[in-house]
Amino acid sequence: MATPRFYCPIPLPLHQTIALPDNVAHHASRALRLREGDEIILFDGKQGQYHAELLFMNGKAMADIKHFNAQEHELKGKITLVQGLPSGDKMDWIIEKASELGVQHLIPVQAERSVLNLSGNRLEKRQDHWEKVAVSAGEQCGRNRILQIEPLQTLAQFIADHAHLAHQLLCHPEGGTSLAAYLKTQPDIQEICLIVGPEGGWSKRELDALTKSGASQVTYGSRVLRTETAGLALTAACSALMDWV
């Protein structure tokens, strides 16, 4: 069994015993049923991870921090995924797998053809849920950096606020340069922004806006990929083709 890992965004001083946050304590003692003396790994999302021993003092879960491991498991390059908001719980799947594949930054976009519409309290709850999914995925896959998820925004907001993102690739099945061909012309790039539409794709107005803002249209294979598949497939392809794994 792999050593249990917990995201713990608090100071983690070496050779000291700290109280675990309530959510981590509950997960360790109730969900995983860990016992006194079990080894656990803590990480704060900034750098490396800390190996510790689980203790219980007066019913409180504690961690005796033993040593620090600076090893990271990030891609050599940076991938940002701009995801048109999908229906149902597909975003959970996308967040989980994007985290496992090494995406650093995810930007959800409320597209014209998005079936799901979120606002107000419902949006706040969903955003909080997405962040918890990202934390859980990071704990499971061994990353010490949690996938960063921006607040849900319109496409116009994305275009206005993210012009600095280099190599914005508009993933579209109807025309454009193949992903492999594009990457061959850019052998030294260090970051990629993949832009994926919702079910039904981007509208013509949205496609025009993205193209006008400088996004390059790319294709991947001869088949039409579902929204929950496209970004993940392209992420894996970019990582392999650029030798970022």
Q: pLDDT for 78-96, tens place per residue?
A: 999 999 999 999 999 999 9
| pLDDT score recorded for residue 77 | 97
Low-confidence ranges of the chain (pLDDT < 70): 1
The Cα–Cα gap between 82 and 105 comes to 8
Q: Dig out the tokens for 120 from the structure.
A: 């107000």
- Is residue 231 within 8 A of residue 118, CB to CB? The reply is no
Structural domains in the chain? 5-69 (2.40.240.20), 78-241 (3.40.1280.10)
| pLDDT score recorded for residue 1 | 65
Backbone φ and ψ of 152, nearest 5° = -60, 135
| pLDDT score recorded for residue 174 | 83
| pLDDT score recorded for residue 59 | 86
- Is residue 139 within 8 A of residue 7, CB to CB? The reply is yes
| pLDDT score recorded for residue 66 | 97
CB-based burial label for 133 (10 Å; 0-12, 13-18, 19+): buried
| pLDDT score recorded for residue 173 | 85
Amino acid at 97: K
The Cα–Cα gap between 80 and 78 comes to 7
